[in-house]
Structure 1
Amino acid sequence: MAQMLALVIVVAVLFIGDLVSVRTKAWIPSVFVCAVLFLLGYWTFFPSDIVATAGIPPAVASMMIYLLITNMGTLLSLQQLKEQWKTILISLAGILGIVVALFTIGALIFDFKTVLVAIPPLVGGIVSALIMSEGAADAGLATLSVFAIVIYAMQGFAGYPLTSIVLNKEGKRLLAKYRKGELAVENSSTLSDTEPKQELKLFRKLPEKYNTDYFKFFRLAIVGYLAYLTSTWLEPIVSISPYVLCLLFGIIGASVGFLERQVLQKANGFGIAILVLMLFVFDGLKVATPSMMMEILYPLIVCIALGVIGMYIFSFIIGKVLGVSKEMAFAVSLTALYGFPADYIITNEVINSLTEDEKEREALTSHMLPPMLVGGFISVTIVSVILAGFFVGFL
């Protein structure tokens, strides 16, 4: 197959996934559509190396992972997260609920490695799924390598409708309070708010014209390389995934003013990096046979169900302690199943369906959107990568 034909085909699959997701308002996840199409392709006419033929060998994907995770670290603002401390505790409690449910009940039903592979993708997104998939593949666990990707692709089916239901109940409760004059509009900052004017403290004297895309990539690559070096230096003492250190070094790099926040987006590289990473994830499905998919189906359903139940119980308890409604606490926990931008889209759709009054929408948005965004950021961006980096060592 010609390289450009392979590229056209695989990118077309990603586009179809996006198209279906947009048309169904994210009720059918794009990753699910893409996973199904890739499976059908591999079972019919796709060559097994179609992703590599399209120009994305493992080395390129690995480079993008380093850049993307380091970029994730730059999103963290300690001041903004401090304002949402209750949300952080609820998000962590929900994750703990997943871990406890799967390591207790799940471990009685499935073997230890199945549970181990299931947790990080269930807690997070594409990066944690890829870490566990690669780790399982390296350990010779082909079925579990596919399982990590499939659970990532399917978990949204549980997360989207449940989130919509509980946010609808929460929105109605808050709306009733607002109409009685018992609810004020909050001016809480979120992760997407205006950034500090001076981000590059270490380069404050550098004229802006020299801060080119290449210079942004150069600094991002340096930070990623330092994370890799640190991982290799620590190897004789303790095994820490370089991906986890990329996240930490990204936070440090942005805090000291070496990196801008969202530096990959500002270097105009985020879109291509995500495209490469998504294609590499679906490349893992090339070893999946119909019989393997049937073998995965039962643990897939059970693991997602146990995870959701664990999230609900633990978020309910911590919500009671912190004085947060069970609906809002559960919604925050559920963001672990999809993250951004689905958390933003679902919250706004629920708010828009509840009222057409702009002031009422503003009041609901101020109370519901910041916790949802922060919850998704904590679980998907931070904790899932840390868990994956830790758990992959036990495969």
Structure 2
Amino acid sequence: MSTSTNRPLHVMHIFATSGSVPYLTWFAQHAQRDGDVRLSFLVMYHERPAMMDEMPAMGFDCHWIRYDPRQRKRGLLKALPWLWWHMMRARPDVVHGHLFDDTLPGMIAAWFARIRLRIYTRQDSGYHWNYAPRWVFLDRLVARFAHKAVACSNDVRAHIIGKERVDPAKVAMVHHGIPPARYTVRDEATMDRLRRRFGLVGQGPVFGTLARFIPWKGYTHIVDAAHILVQHHPHARFLFCGTGPQEEEIRARVAELGLHDHIIFTGWVDRDDVPSLFGIMDGYLHAADHEPFGFVYAEAMMAGVPVVSTPTGAALDAIEDGVSGILVKERSGKSLAEGVERLLRMDGPLLGRNGRAIALRLFDLEVMYRGYKDLYLGMLQLPGTERRDPATAP
């Protein structure tokens, strides 16, 4: 890598979102602590995003580009010149996209701005393939404009290489990261409060899932599993933590099956209470049809909760079936119920401890931060991507 400048490495992140993004916040806190990476942010949304206050408070530039996801095609075209303009002004060493709506215009704008290193993280690998196949060609187009595609799990890596035909040499692997201190400490008073709030005193076993109510998160599978399990475990309780467009459909299914005493709709639980929420669970259920990574079950593993999961996302990287969790063979209520029965016959706390050890090794935020920094620096050593001073860059 060129040593012609001693300035910190400048990485510009692009994100199409309305609010704060926890892992970007944690990433920024690490960069602020170490002082060896300068971050800046371009945030695309139709309303002023929370990051406009959050990132400048840590000393990082943040700019807002108006983008309405409800008018997606027009919005992407309008955002592209603004992205290019900000990149030309800032001249970052790296432009890093994260979601499709920011990555498509972001990689094209960065190419026209002649940014030295263009990277994007694939966090929605199966969505277009499964639900909007006409957009898959745009996923492939993004890969052509980028130097690197970062997979957040081996499942994603296999998808973009095998189905989207991205050159394997162009694909790197960096798991998402979670700050361990946040999920390895439980508060007993909070746990007692949550048990009383959800009517769990004297009930059990308790299982939970935290996810939006949307079809591919698999709530229907969990309802079907609960219907099977309560026949043998009449005091079992299932916490459904979230909201979303499918909620009324799921509530109707619960009523139809007579599971209203067993399934508790909690709404969203305060983020600060989530570690203690994990503490009142005997197992965490993950039933998604596809999941590029899966933050919540990684958090549950880090909290020491045994996880029963469908074979998707980072669960395939972290869970050794019967050792650090339970992997079910198919996405169905019957298969999930069988997985839960296996868990109940095993030493659940031991599975939880084994899962925590794996999660701390794979998903520690420090590992993610170091992985991305090493990737940036390694790529910038390649011919044609050497760092230059913005004042002299073409």
Asked whether the two chains share a fold, i.e. TM above 0.5, the reply is no
Q: In proportion to residue count, which structure has more strand?
A: 2
Higher relative contact order (CA closer than 8 Å, sequence separation 6+): 1
Q: In proportion to residue count, which structure has more helix?
A: 1
TM-score (norm 2): 0.23
Choose 1 or 2 for highest CA Rg.
2
